[in-house]
Every structure is written in C-alpha cells, then in structure tokens.
Amino acid sequence: MKSMPFDYSLDFDQIDFREHPELYRVGRGEQGVLLVEPYKSEILPYWRFKTPEIARESSDKIYELFLTYKDQKDFVGMDMARKFLQMGYTRARRYTNYKGGRKYDEDGAVKERQNDPVKAESAAIFKEKWKQAREDEEYLAMKHEHQKKYG
C-alpha cells in the first residue's frame, strides 16, 4: 500500500496525536518526526548518537518505547519510535561522512567525504534497531490497517 504524503498543513501545536491518530499520516522515511506530539516529547530526550555507547543506550531506550507503544496498540507511537531510530541511523551516517555533519561548505560546495569509524559504529547500532522496528510483523499489520483506514 502506497503511503499518503505527510500532512504538513496541520496545526501541530494544537493536536495530540494520541487522542487523534486519525490525523496522522505515515509519510515517507522520517517525515514529521519532530512535529508529532506527544511522541516527540516522549522520545526526543533519549535520542543521541555521539559515541557507540551512547547510541546503544539511546537506540535500546527508543526501541523499548517502540515495544511499549506496541503493547498499548499505539501505532502512531510505534511509527514515531521507528522514525527516531531511522533518524539516528541517517544522522550518524551524515556525521560519519562529513565532519560536523554538514555536507556543504559556506559557498555551497560539497565538502570532501571522510569516514569517522566511531560515528559509523553508532549508525550501525541504530540501523539494527531500526530494522527490528520496521520489520516487526505487528507493526507492519498495524501500519497497513492505519493506512487503509486513514490514508
């Protein structure tokens, strides 16, 4: 099932998506990860990837939240936790490839790629937890049902 685009036209400051899951759209990738409350406030404090040790602790905690939302049959929470795990991977990869996490210099030119093995390890840690979340059978069934019901 094709996902509906994330709806950026909503007044995110006024919506509690736990109370109104019908307004939530999965979108692509990490869309809306820093907008959807109360999940953003519940998950963001744990999102870190500076070192592999920090990344492991962070991804374990976020995956634990994913499982808690799963126990509560809260698809939006599960999807938001999945998005934070994905974002942990993609941001750590960006820092792996570009010092300071910035791909472009002040003039708009692409910086030379590097390979920071510490950030690469952090990315790999997040990638594994992200894979567990996105392949979870109950998550996939709930995602399909949510998309069927709400778009």
pLDDT digits (tens, 9 = 90+) for 30-57: 999 999 999 999 999 999 999 999 999 9
The answer to whether residue 19 scores a pLDDT higher than 60 is: yes
Mean pLDDT, to the nearest integer, of 1-13?
77
* Mean pLDDT estimate for the chain: 93
State residue 40's pLDDT score.
97
State residue 102's pLDDT score.
82
The answer to whether residue 2 scores a pLDDT higher than 70 is: no
pLDDT digits (tens, 9 = 90+) for 83-94: 999 999 999 999
The answer to whether residue 132 scores a pLDDT higher than 70 is: yes
4: left (phi over 0), alpha (psi -120 to 50) or beta: beta
Distances from the Cα of 61 to the Cα of 11, 66, 121, angstroms: 29, 9, 17
User: What's the CA gap between 119 and 141, in Å, rounded?
Assistant: 33
State residue 1's pLDDT score.
54
State residue 63's pLDDT score.
98
Instruction: Kindly state the tokens that stand for 100.
Output: 């300071």
